[in-house]
């Protein structure tokens, strides 16, 4: 029997598995995909998470492969003004890594996987779908299937790191509270240097009276890097590539004409949610990452809070598997669920509201508040602590 079964081998599932294995526990990790998905997903790693990656021995590889972001900008399309430029360097006296790193999440997964392959206490079940699990007094039993047929696995606990459609969460009957936005988000990756053509930083937010953009540089597959442009859609981008490129060109022609004609490497449409599970723990089943909470991507908070879940949960499970009361797992829920609502949900909702605001008066007030924040060192620092999830991380650990 395994100590823990983890379902989902994204960055949160991988990190949870690595943390538990380093603590000496036997872990079975299940992933339905044959290969790591490489489409546009999370790419921002904040300073609070960099410190956790350092503790796990991953930081050198992350820094070597990622792009360092010391600043990020809020810009106004109407005036062309840089409204505010936030400087992560103000955190230099408070943390080891006073910056963010842009690194696609599939590359983070690929950094962790070789470490798991070297762990004798870990078995990776790739291209394997967990179909159901049954909870007993002293264990859970998972029924799964792969190309070789059905297989069964027993473990003392199961952790759902299996995303917004989580089988674990649904099997436990846990409500996924919140809502889904009517509009979609389009994410388009292009080979165009917005730093050279428009003076952008690595991370940028731009708003207009009838549209907005998040524009971020990521490493991609070339030394020059590539740029992701995220913007709202009222309907899905066409699935046929030429039609999708024509629609992208229409948007770029109006808002980003400097990038017209640039090579487009990826085009994706995403549903956008703001949801938090009603429970993060029920019996021997636990949730972490997107199975427990999802949010819009403005601010780059989802991946980071998921890795924070993984570290917190692994510490609690280490103690419980070693003989401590499983009431510690309820503390995991208290330390992660409330702060997910108070910080991640609240901040990402606020970011979206500011980006899409159309009222001239409200836009002016929002922009004045940004200028005042940047101009006041204490306010600037407090904003950076919150945006980098340091405030959430530190406050959550005070909860008993």
Bridge partners, 156 (sequence order): none
Pairing of β 71-76 and β 203-207: parallel
Residue in 131, 141, 128, 53 with CA at minimum distance from that of residue 97:
53
- 9-60 pLDDT, tens digit per residue, is 999 999 999 999 999 999 999 999 999 988 889 999 999 999 999 999 999 9
What would the two tokens of residue 334 be? 């208290």
Sequence-ordered list of residues with C-beta below 8 angstroms from that of 174, at least 6 positions apart, any chain: 277, 278, 279, 282, 287
Residue in 254, 253, 290 with CA at minimum distance from that of residue 273:
290
Bridge partners, 69 (sequence order): 100
b/e burial code for range 202-220 (CB count within 10 A of at least 16 → b): bbbbbbbeeebbbbbbbbb
- 115-150 pLDDT, tens digit per residue, is 999 999 999 999 999 999 999 999 999 999 999 999
Q: Which CATH class is domain 2-69+99-180+274-362+389-396?
A: alpha beta
For 184-271, CATH gives 3.30.70
Q: Are residues 335 and 399 in contact, defined by beta-carbon separation less than 8 angstroms?
A: yes
CA distance 358 to 368: 15
Domain spans, the chain: 2-69+99-180+274-362+389-396, 184-271
| Residue whose tokens read 């629609």 | 247
What are the CB-based long-range contacts (under 8 Å, 24+) for 396-400?
A: 396/308, 396/312, 396/335, 396/336, 396/338, 396/339, 397/335, 399/331, 399/334, 399/335, 399/338, 399/339, 400/331, 400/334
pLDDT 10s digit of each residue in the chain, 400 long?
999 999 999 999 999 999 999 999 999 999 999 999 888 899 999 999 999 999 999 999 999 999 999 999 999 988 889 999 999 999 999 999 999 999 999 999 999 999 999 999 999 999 999 999 999 999 999 999 999 999 999 999 999 999 999 999 999 999 999 999 999 999 999 999 999 999 999 999 999 888 999 999 999 998 899 999 999 997 888 989 999 999 999 999 999 999 999 999 999 999 999 999 999 999 999 999 999 999 999 999 999 999 999 999 999 999 999 999 999 999 999 999 999 999 999 999 999 999 999 999 999 999 999 999 999 999 999 999 999 999 999 999 999 9
CA distance 387 to 99: 11
Instruction: Output the CA angle 122-127-133, nearest 5 degrees.
Output: 70
b/e burial code for range 382-395 (CB count within 10 A of at least 16 → b): ebbbebbbbbbbee
| Residue whose tokens read 């089988």 | 167
Q: Are residues 135 and 5 in contact, defined by beta-carbon separation less than 8 angstroms?
A: no
CA distance 76 to 291: 35
b/e burial code for range 111-133 (CB count within 10 A of at least 16 → b): bbbebbeebebbebbeebebeeb
Rg from Cα positions in the chain: 21
| CA distances, 100 to each of 35, 183, 203, 292 (Å) | 27, 28, 9, 24
Enumerate the H helices of the chain as residue ranges. Answer: 11-22, 47-55, 59-65, 105-117, 167-171, 194-198, 241-255, 302-321, 327-339, 346-356, 360-375, 377-387, 390-396
Residue 148 phi/psi, 5-degree rounding, is -85, -5
CA distance 102 to 62: 9
């Amino acid at each position: 029997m395994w100590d823990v079964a983890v379902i989902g081998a994204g960055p949160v599932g991988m990190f949870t598995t690595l943390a538990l294995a380093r603590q000496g526990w036997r872990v079975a990790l299940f992933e339905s995909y044959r290969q790591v998905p490489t489409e546009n997903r999370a790419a921002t790693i904040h300073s609070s998470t960099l410190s956790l990656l350092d503790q796990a021995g991953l930081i050198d590889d992350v820094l070597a492969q990622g792009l360092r972001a010391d600043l990020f900008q809020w810009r106004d399309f109407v005036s062309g003004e840089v409204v505010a430029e936030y400087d992560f360097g103000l955190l230099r006296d408070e943390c080891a890594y006073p910056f963010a790193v842009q690194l696609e999440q599939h590359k983070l997964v690929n950094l962790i996987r070789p470490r798991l392959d070297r762990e004798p206490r870990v078995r990776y079940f790739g291209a394997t779908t967990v179909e159901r699990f049954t909870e007993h007094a002293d264990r859970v039993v998972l029924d799964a299937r792969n190309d070789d047929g059905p297989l069964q696995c027993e473990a003392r606990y199961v952790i759902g790191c299996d995303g917004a459609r989580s089988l674990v969460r649904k099997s436990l009957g846990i409500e996924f509270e919140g809502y889904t936005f009517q509009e979609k988000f389009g994410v388009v990756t292009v080979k165009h240097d917005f730093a050279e053509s428009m003076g952008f930083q690595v991370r940028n937010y731009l708003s207009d009276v009838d549209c907005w953009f998040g524009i971020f540089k990521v490493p991609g597959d070339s030394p020059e890097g590539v740029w992701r442009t995220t913007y709202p859609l009222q309907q899905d981008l066409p699935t046929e590539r030429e039609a999708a490129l024509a629609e992208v060109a229409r948007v770029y022609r109006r808002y980003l004409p400097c990038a017209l004609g640039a090579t487009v490497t990826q085009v994706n449409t995403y549903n956008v949610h703001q949801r938090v599970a009603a429970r993060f723990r029920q019996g021997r089943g636990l949730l972490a990452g997107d199975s427990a909470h999802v949010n819009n991507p403005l601010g780059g908070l989802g991946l980071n809070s998921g890795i924070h879940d993984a570290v917190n949960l692994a510490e609690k499970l280490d103690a419980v598997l070693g003989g401590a009361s499983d009431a510690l797992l309820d503390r995991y829920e208290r330390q992660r669920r409330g702060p997910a609502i108070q910080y991640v949900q609240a901040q990402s909702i606020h970011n979206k509201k500011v980006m899409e605001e159309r009222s001239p008066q409200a836009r002016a007030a929002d922009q004045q508040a940004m200028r005042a924040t940047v101009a006041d060192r204490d306010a600037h620092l407090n904003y950076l602590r919150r945006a980098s999830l340091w405030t959430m991380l530190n406050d959550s650990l005070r909860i008993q």
